[in-house]
Amino acid sequence: MSAMSAKLFNWLQAAPFYMDLHRQAVQLLPIGDQKSWIDVGCGPGLVTRFAAQHGYHALGIDPSVASIAMATVIAENLAQNPTQFKAQFRVADLSELTQLASNKLGAADVISACSLLAVLPDRAQALMQLWAAVKPNGYLLIVEPSSQMRLRNAWSCLHQIPKKRRCALLLWSWARQNNIVDESIFQRLNHAEIRTYSLLFGLVRAWVIRKEKRL
Ligand X SMILES: C[S@@+](CC[C@H](N)C(=O)[O-])C[C@H]1O[C@@H](n2cnc3c(N)ncnc32)[C@H](O)[C@@H]1O
Binding site for ligand X (CB under 6 A): 1, 9, 13, 40-43, 46, 62-64, 67, 93-94, 114-116, 119-120
Q: How far is the CB of 143 from ligand X (least distance, A)?
A: 7
Nearer to ligand X by Cβ, of 46 and 52: the residue is: 46
Burial class (CB in 10 A: 0-12, 13-18, 19+), 66: buried
The span from the CA of 85 to the CA of 75, in Å, is 9
Terminus-to-terminus CA distance in the chain, angstroms?
A: 36
Nearer to ligand X by Cβ, of 15 and 209: the residue is: 15
Q: How far is the CB of 212 from ligand X (least distance, A)?
A: 26
> How many other C-beta atoms lie within 10 A of the C-beta of residue 110?
24
Q: How far is the CB of 208 from ligand X (least distance, A)?
A: 16
12 CB contacts (<8 Å, ≥6 apart)? 18, 165, 168, 171, 172
- Would you state the torsion angle of the CA atoms of residues 178, 179, 183, 186, taken in this order, to the nearest 10 degrees? 160
Nearer to ligand X by Cβ, of 99 and 137: the residue is: 99
Q: How far is the CB of 141 from ligand X (least distance, A)?
A: 11
Nearer to ligand X by Cβ, of 94 and 133: the residue is: 94
Nearer to ligand X by Cβ, of 137 and 174: the residue is: 174
Q: How far is the CB of 9 from ligand X (least distance, A)?
A: 6
Q: How far is the CB of 137 from ligand X (least distance, A)?
A: 24
The span from the CA of 190 to the CA of 211, in Å, is 7
> How many other C-beta atoms lie within 10 A of the C-beta of residue 133?
22
The span from the CA of 54 to the CA of 139, in Å, is 15
Nearer to ligand X by Cβ, of 137 and 196: the residue is: 196
Q: Are the C-beta atoms of residues 87 and 64 closer than 8 Å to each other?
A: no
